[in-house]
Amino acid sequence: MDHNMPGMNMTPPAAAGAPANHGNMAMTHMTFYWGKNSEILFSGWPGTRTGMYVLVLILVFIVSVLAEWLSNCRLSRSGSKSVSAGIVQTISYAIRVGLAYLLMLAVMSFNVGVLIVAIVGHAVGFLVFTSRVFRDSYDSDKISGVHTRLAC
């Protein structure tokens, strides 16, 4: 008689705060934690190396700023109805959504550092590309009737 029934795992639970380890497959944290020893987006990355963890934080920051830029950037002329303008707009949207999903997955690592860096990156992107702090030249163009903006 086979006693290894599916769903009947008899191994003891992992220590509090530590990821569970079933054989060679490490499970991710299910609560927020602070530390550089983590896996974010890829198996074994950044691992336990401090430099790689810092690189992850820098990349998450850049991707969140880039997602904000793509959210607020018009790469085609306002009112343009050409097929090429629609394709550029669609590609820009697809890239933005893909970056947003990658950010969501990175934050789902439950690493507090990644969460903070993602929020700060979105905030900096909003400040630079959306807020009125850097909008003087665009607002004067809008008042004068010019509605073309190729760069953000």
Q: Answer yes or no: is 151 within a domain.
A: no
Please tell me the total count of domains within the chain: 1
Q: How far is CA 26 from the centre of its chain?
A: 22
**pLDDT tens column, 83-138:** 888 898 899 999 999 999 999 999 999 999 999 999 999 999 999 998 888 776 55
Q: Answer yes or no: is 32 within a domain.
A: no
Residues spanned by the domain of 108: 56-134
More confident position, 11 or 37: 37
* 133: three-class secondary structure by DSSP: helix
Q: Answer yes or no: is 152 within a domain.
A: no
Q: What value does the CA radius of gyration of the chain take, rounded to a whole number of Å? A: 22
Q: Answer yes or no: is 35 within a domain.
A: no
Q: Answer yes or no: is 111 within a domain.
A: yes
Q: Answer yes or no: is 19 within a domain.
A: no
Residue 100: closest CA among 77, 123, 122, 130: 122
Q: Answer yes or no: is 95 within a domain.
A: yes
d(Cα 49, Cα 37) in Å, to the nearest integer? 7
What's the rounded mean pLDDT across residues 22-28?
A: 53
* 58: three-class secondary structure by DSSP: helix
d(Cα 101, Cα 93) in Å, to the nearest integer? 12
More confident position, 143 or 60: 60
What angle (nearest 5°) sits at the alpha carbon of residue 45, between those of residues 31 and 66? 85
Asked whether the bond before 46 is cis by omega within 30 degrees of 0, the reply is yes
Lowest average pLDDT, out of 17-26, 54-63, 91-100, goes to 17-26
Give the pairing type, strands 45-47 and 38-42. antiparallel
d(Cα 149, Cα 138) in Å, to the nearest integer? 8
Q: Answer yes or no: is 1 within a domain.
A: no
